[in-house]
Amino acid sequence: MREFAEAPSLFDNLDEVAAPAPLDAGRLPSYIKDHRQRLRGRFLAGGAQAMPDYELLELVLFRAIPRQDVKPLARRLIDKFGDFNGVVSASKEGLQKIEGVGDAVIVELKIVEAAAQRLSRARVLQRHVVSSWDALLDYCHTTLSHRPTEHFRILFLDTKNVLIADEEQARGTLDHVPVYPREVVKRALELNAAAIILVHNHPSGDPTPSQADIDMTKQIITAAKALSITVHDHLIIGKSSECSFRSAGLI
């Protein structure tokens, strides 16, 4: 069993990694306090729709950096990663390169990311895929659209097209992910799945399938058909759109 005491955790000494406090550490400066109260009030009154990305990010950063103006850090993060989703989906290594980001900030951002993924996943797991297709696409975008490298996932369905499992099968590079048809079909058999949906992302943002994507999909379809497993679709997720092989006539 792994001994967790061997290596420090992101959750260790969070007070030590927060940004320096003002001279009066026991008291929050009034201008920061008033600004935070205004943002919280706007959020409670109008929700996230009433706030630009950098202000929503400030609300998250309040917890990680309790006694400092976090607006400049929120701006730096947005400038670097593009938008709120890009910030919370950024890698730990990428975040650490930003001035003012310590483990406390990373923990808060990754909690938000994990919560978003679990909420979107709950809307599709154990539900009929056809009737929850929009929710399925939202989940795929939440999980994959901001990944800096290609990830390949498989959605496993039962005989009634209800999603029974969702698993990551492989991770790759900026423009390639290794996929082995034999392993895809083997896992479907282990889960007693009747059908599957293939999903992977294009970090470039363009969901147009490559010839390698098309060839790989045909190989999986051939392997699955021999074992009476249906490949319903292959979704390629871009930054703000997706490509469905079935809709494009590629399946």
DSSP string of 69-113, one letter each residue: --HHHHHHHHHHHSSHHHHHHS-HHHHHTSTT--HHHHHHHHHHH
Q: 234 — phi, psi (to 5°)? A: -130, 115
Flag whether pLDDT at 88 surpasses 90: no
Q: Flag whether pLDDT at 4 surpasses 60.
A: no
pLDDT digit string (tens) for 136-179?
Answer: 888 888 888 888 889 999 999 999 888 888 888 888 888 788 89
Domain with CATH 3.40.140.10 in the chain: 126-244
Q: What is the mean pLDDT of residues 226-250?
A: 92
Mean pLDDT of the chain, nearest integer: 83
Task: Pick left, alpha or beta for residue 126 (phi over 0 → left; psi -120 to 50 → alpha; otherwise beta).
Answer: left
| pLDDT value of residue 198 | 96
What mean pLDDT comes out for the span 21-30? 53
Q: 126-244 architecture in CATH?
A: 3-Layer(aba) Sandwich (3.40)
Average pLDDT over residues 180-205: 94
**pLDDT on residue 127:** 66
Q: pLDDT band at 47, cuts 50/70/90? A: confident
Task: Write the CB contacts of 116 (distance below 8 Å, at least 6 apart in sequence).
Answer: 88, 142
Looking at residues 178-200, what average pLDDT do you find?
A: 94
What's the pTM? 0.62
pLDDT of 240 over the 60 cut: yes
Whether the pLDDT of residue 73 is over 80: the answer is yes
Highest average pLDDT, of 32-46, 86-100, 110-124, 204-218, comes from 204-218
